[in-house]
Amino acid sequence: MSVVSELLEAIEANPGDEASQLVIADYLQADGDPRGDLIVLDHAERHGMLDDPEALDQLLWLAAEYSFPRAEPADPPLPFTCHSRRPTRHELLHDERRYLVVADENEHRTVSYSLRMHPVGAAGDHDWHHHRLWLDLEEPWREDEERVVITIVSDAIRAQTPLGDLRFPYYRMPLPQYEGSPLRCYLLPLEYLMTHDVLRNRFGLAARDYHRWHAIWQRLRAMQPR
């Protein structure tokens, strides 16, 4: 495993060196590590050389299992500013929009995050888009949990993924956990899960994988007979 870790770190150290990455993929494949297949399929798809439906389906499956290969380090959370406590109110100005994340604790000690965004300079509640994210907690809200929510929301904002579809690790049905990778906060399409006989909480997508995974999924669907 230490050799595999060193090889994967080499990918991060040389993000533009695709030839070396394919050499690493050969080693992983020879060792029976499916991440080798993922690197090869990912490379072929990005270069327009993957037209076989079975290969595309395998790429989707492996990307859901391991996430798409990514050489660059993970992005840091966007700089939300905390303006108040009880309810906690975080604000971010990003890409000509203002985002507010507000946490309320009600009498049942559950927490709802109301996530709102609107163009900078717009006035009035009628200009806001409301997203209510329910988090089931049986104890007071903690700062470490708050940081997780802010990190998840900032990843979604950066990736421009649907805010209303976000899931958090505090639901009764927990998110799948993957060692050393971002939290997978988006469910896979139900149609995909049904065709693969997979439980809904088995896999998830990180925000950075969302658009590409769905684009490949739509492409695969177009190839399949109705």
Average pLDDT of the segment spanning 78-101: 81
Joined together, the tokens standing for residue 132 give 């209510």
Asked, for residue 175, whether it belongs to a domain, the answer is no
Asked, for residue 110, whether it belongs to a domain, the answer is yes
Asked, for residue 178, whether it belongs to a domain, the answer is no
Residue 38: the pLDDT is: 94
Residue 119: the pLDDT is: 67
Asked, for residue 47, whether it belongs to a domain, the answer is yes
Joined together, the tokens standing for residue 65 give 């299992």
Same domain, 117 and 191: no
> For residue 186, what are the β-bridge partners?
205
The model scores a pTM over 0.85: no
What does the alpha-carbon distance between residue 214 and residue 121 come to, in Å, rounded to a whole number? Answer: 33
90: closest CA among 136, 138, 169, 148? 148
List the single range of 42-56, 92-106, 112-126, 178-192 with lowest mean pLDDT.
112-126
- By the 8 A CB rule, do 152 and 183 touch? yes
**Percent of the chain topping pLDDT 90:** 25
Same domain, 85 and 51: no
Average pLDDT of the segment spanning 29-58: 94
Q: Are strands 81-84 and 129-135 parallel, antiparallel or unpaired?
A: unpaired
Asked, for residue 174, whether it belongs to a domain, the answer is no
pLDDT band at 126 (very low <50, low <70, confident <90, very high): very low
Asked, for residue 180, whether it belongs to a domain, the answer is no
What total of structural domains would you count in the chain?
A: 2
Per the model's pLDDT, the better-predicted residue between 119 and 184 turns out to be 184
Asked, for residue 181, whether it belongs to a domain, the answer is no
- Residues 138-197 pLDDT 10s: 666 677 877 888 888 899 989 999 887 888 877 666 676 666 666 788 999 999 998 898
Same domain, 9 and 69: yes
Residue 28: the pLDDT is: 87
Same domain, 97 and 157: yes
Tell me: pLDDT of 24 over 70.
yes
Same domain, 50 and 91: no
Residues 6+ apart with CB under 8 A from 98: 91, 92, 117, 118, 119, 120
SS3 call for 66: helix
For residue 55, the enclosing domain spans 2-73+186-223
Residue 199: the pLDDT is: 81
Q: Which CATH number does the domain housing residue 129 bear?
A: 3.10.450
